[in-house]
Chains A and B, each alone.
Chain A
């Protein structure tokens, strides 16, 4: 399947997931770290402490967004180094895949 179709398929899956999530108006969408781990800890008489850098609201959103962007950039950089880009070879020498070898014959 061409790469563009994969991208469209993943975007449709994300939209479908968010659409389904928005249907359930009663759900808070708290993570299991809060609902299960935190819930059981409170039951057992333990409460979480205030984090070292206690980011709240949009500041926390910003931290997650920026760290996701940095992580994504780093992943892309190493991906390109290992596997190369569109039509470009990897920076590390590699032998052709079976598909490429068949094409070259």
Chain B
């Protein structure tokens, strides 16, 4: 989903950066506040940052599509550390990838951050909260939110591309064309993200029920899995 360097016109590059920066700044202050209150937040943010860095640079070949794509990991991160801190770790990850791996770009940093760190993370978190509100099991809520985070990221990328480069065609037509083109590769990866997110939530709540409670994953009176 990384939009390469220079693909977006500079006005769009500036607009997307301006749109994502408030989320990044709010996330930085959230991290500062949470790490002062809760000692396990810092290693959890470190863990999520490392995982998002690794999985979002991991091109997985999808045999039925003949192409490769990467998961995002933002759904799992948004559930475990919150959507605003996820925006921060995604911003740092995208910066490293743009500079050292030629993956994404500096001019498209804001657009990629908006798609992955804002749209992807917030969509996943909203899906998780809504699904848990309807008392779905933790693993199922986490799985669906993980898949939503992945698909929303790619939906956001399609929207950015459509808005910036639609020329005479309608935005909806262009968005649909790009989003549909992503699907053969992205649906299997969304399923993979669902499985990994469910597994991670299950692991955290069974291995560290105290952490699960503090993260709001399980009820305060529960001992966990």
Contact = CB atoms under 8 A, between A and B. Distances in A.
Contacts of B181: 32, 35-36, 39-40
B63 interface: yes
B136 interface: no
A41 B161 contact: yes
Given A32-B186, A75-B47, A99 B206 contact: yes
Contact of B54 (A23, A31, A50, A72): A72
Q: Interface residue tally of chain A, by bracket?
A: 35 or more
B61 A33 contact: no
Interface stretch (B17-25, B65-73, B141-149): B65-73
A74 B9 CA distance: 36
A86 interface: no
Q: Interface residue tally of chain B, by bracket?
A: 35 or more
Contacts of B2: 33, 37
B209 A95 contact: yes
Contact of A37 (B4, B50, B70, B186): B4
B15 interface: no
A54 interface: yes
Contacts of A52: 5, 98-99, 102, 106
A32 B68 contact: yes
A21 B167 contact: no
Given A17-B63, A36-B181, A71 B40 contact: no
A51 B105 contact: yes
Contacts of A47: 6-7
B102 to A, nearest CB: 4
Contact of A74 (B39, B50, B203): B50
B102 A53 contact: yes
Given A46-B6, A49-B6, A63-B101, A32 B1 contact: yes
A2 interface: no
Contacts of A4: none
A101 B54 CA distance: 34
A77 B107 CA distance: 32
A72 B50 contact: yes
Contacts of B216: none
A67 B67 CA distance: 23
Interface of B: 1-9, 39-40, 43-44, 46-47, 49-51, 53-54, 57-61, 63, 66-70, 96, 98-103, 105-107, 157, 161, 165-167, 174, 177-178, 181-182, 185-186, 203, 206-211, 223-225
15 contacts: A24-B66, A30-B68, A37-B2, A37-B4, A37-B178, A44-B165, A44-B166, A46-B8, A49-B4, A51-B102, A71-B57, A74-B49, A78-B43, A94-B211, A99-B206
